[in-house]
């Protein structure tokens, strides 16, 4: 009986961690026959867990949504992560979730073992959260986007740009990124054939959603936090510049630029940056210490030319 109960708990944990499992996959994970898996699934159903089964070669098992929330299985680290996350959510960021987070946190702390309760209390007591004024996002929007990314399902939504213009986007969602109180969606814009970053508070989801897609290689060498940071650092400036550096991209990436560098060939690369003052941008580019060509904008190119003439006059008498 103890062995069967332990196996049921392990099966339930697997079903909660992954959306779809085939019978042979579960059989291999638990070290039992597929017939035993079928019997264990029936036991879970009798306990109120809505486990859906799809017959056939491509079929399998999936834990569905039930009329009531069944118990969740959390290990120590997961329980601490959920408790800390609820504490942060109580400070805002997701629309209407503050009071709900407090209630959920109170329930969770009530059943936490004392060793975990002390860890959570210490983290909450000695962590200072600075509230922001960023617009909140409805939780159902976040969960819809996260589920679409998990299941590789496209999204269709109306998007309001920085200038207030609206457009319809067809996007393959890949990740949600939280930065300074705002939520961002990193996805591949199918119509524009490129990666884009969208502020989620400016997204208005449409139904039906888009078709399923095959995941792509993530931009920014997979470091989406740095990718979003670079994009936002460039987008917020008055001027956006593209400069051709006469140096290999690998060499430039070793410098603490914190900006986007794209290789062109073995000896050159593109540097993208932004600023409110072209004079400061021109001086800063000179500090890199390599030859360069300003491709855009024209205002920066003109200022670099004037700056070069001023420097030439400064040494013309030597």
Secondary structure class of 24 (helix, strand, coil): helix
Q: What is the mean pLDDT of residues 144-152?
A: 88
Tell me phi and psi for residue 19, to 5 degrees: -70, -50
Q: What is the pLDDT of residue 68?
A: 57
Q: What is the pLDDT of residue 57?
A: 66
What does each C-alpha distance from 95 to 26, 98, 137, 246 come to in angstroms?
A: 38, 8, 5, 48
Say if residue 284's pLDDT is above 80: yes
Q: Find out whether 213 and 247 touch, Cβ atoms under 8 Å.
A: no
CATH of domain 239-317: 3.30.70
pLDDT by residue (tens digit) across 60-69? 898 887 655 6
What is the average pLDDT score of the chain? 82
Q: What is the pLDDT of residue 298?
A: 92
Give the helix/strand (H/E) hosting 240. strand 239-245
What is the Cα–Cα distance from 69 to 45, expressed in whole angstroms?
13
SS (H, E, C) 265-313: CCCCEEEEEEECCHHHHHHHHHHCCCCEEEEECHHHHHHHHHHHHHHHH
What is the Cα–Cα distance from 281 to 272, expressed in whole angstroms?
11
pLDDT by residue (tens digit) across 202-215? 999 998 888 999 99
Task: Name the pLDDT band for 1 (thresholds 50, 70, 90).
Answer: very low
Comparing 172 with 48, the larger pLDDT belongs to 172
Nearest to 196 by CA among 242, 238, 162, 151: 162
CATH of domain 1-63: 1.10.10.10
């Amino acid at each position: 009986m103890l062995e069967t109960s332990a196996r049921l708990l392990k099966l339930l944990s697997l079903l909660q961690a992954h959306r779809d499992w085939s019978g042979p996959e579960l059989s291999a994970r638990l070290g039992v026959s597929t017939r035993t898996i079928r019997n264990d699934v029936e036991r879970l159903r009798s306990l109120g867990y809505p486990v859906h089964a799809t017959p056939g070669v491509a079929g399998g098992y999936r834990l569905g949504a039930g009329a009531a929330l069944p118990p969740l299985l959390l290990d120590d680290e997961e329980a601490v992560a959920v408790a800390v996350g609820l504490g942060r959510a109580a400070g805002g960021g997701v629309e209407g979730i503050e009071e709900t987070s407090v209630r959920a946190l109170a329930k969770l702390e009530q059943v936490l073992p004392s060793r975990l309760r002390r860890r959570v209390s210490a983290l909450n007591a000695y962590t200072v959260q600075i509230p922001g004024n960023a617009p909140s996002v409805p939780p159902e929007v976040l969960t819809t986007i996260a589920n679409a990314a998990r299941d590789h399902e496209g999204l269709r939504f109306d998007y309001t740009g920085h200038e207030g213009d609206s457009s319809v986007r067809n996007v393959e969602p890949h990740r949600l990124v939280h930065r300074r109180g705002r939520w961002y969606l990193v996805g591949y814009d199918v119509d524009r054939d490129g990666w884009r970053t969208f502020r989620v508070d400016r997204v208005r989801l449409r139904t039906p959603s888009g078709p399923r897609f095959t995941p792509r290689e993530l931009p920014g060498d997979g470091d989406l936090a740095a990718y979003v940071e670079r994009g936002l650092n460039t987008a917020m400036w008055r001027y956006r510049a593209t400069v051709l550096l006469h140096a290999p991209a690998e060499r430039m990436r070793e410098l603490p630029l914190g900006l986007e560098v794209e290789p062109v060939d073995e000896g050159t690369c593109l540097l993208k940056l932004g600023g409110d003052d072209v004079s400061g941008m021109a001086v800063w580019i000179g500090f890199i210490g390599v030859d360069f060509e300003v491709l855009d904008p024209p205002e920066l190119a003109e200022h670099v030319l004037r700056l070069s003439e001023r420097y030439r006059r400064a040494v013309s008498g030597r």
